[in-house]
Amino acid sequence: MLGGQMSGRLASTPQEQICTTLWHCNQCNAVVSIITSQVVDEAFCPACGDASLEFCGTIAGIAWAQVGNA
């Protein structure tokens, strides 16, 4: 998992506010999904570490993808 150091408690986020986005790296061809409660404007490839990712869309915007609780 990538990210900065976190301290304290995290507030739970209602399921309706969580967004899953898909990103693509043109350098190494990786596909990355980001699940967050905040808007992501820019992301960097966790495989390359330096390459900026290209936004592909949200999971809700992809007809074949469905997210649910099992």
Q: What is the dihedral of CA 29, 32, 20, 9, to 10 degrees?
A: -160
pLDDT of 64 > 60? The answer is no
Q: What is the pLDDT of residues 9-31, one digit of tens each?
A: 444 445 557 788 999 999 999 99
Phi, psi of 17, deg, nearest 5: -95, -5
Q: Please give the order of strands across the beta sheet that includes 31-36.
A: 31-36, 19-24, 54-58
DSSP secondary structure code for residue 61 in this structure: G
Residue with tokens 């809700």: 60
What Å distances lie between residue 45 and 3, 8, 16, CA to CA?
12, 27, 26
pTM: 0.61
What's the pLDDT at 1? 40
Rounded to an integer, the average pLDDT of 43-67 is: 78
Confidence band for 39, pLDDT divided at 50, 70 and 90: confident
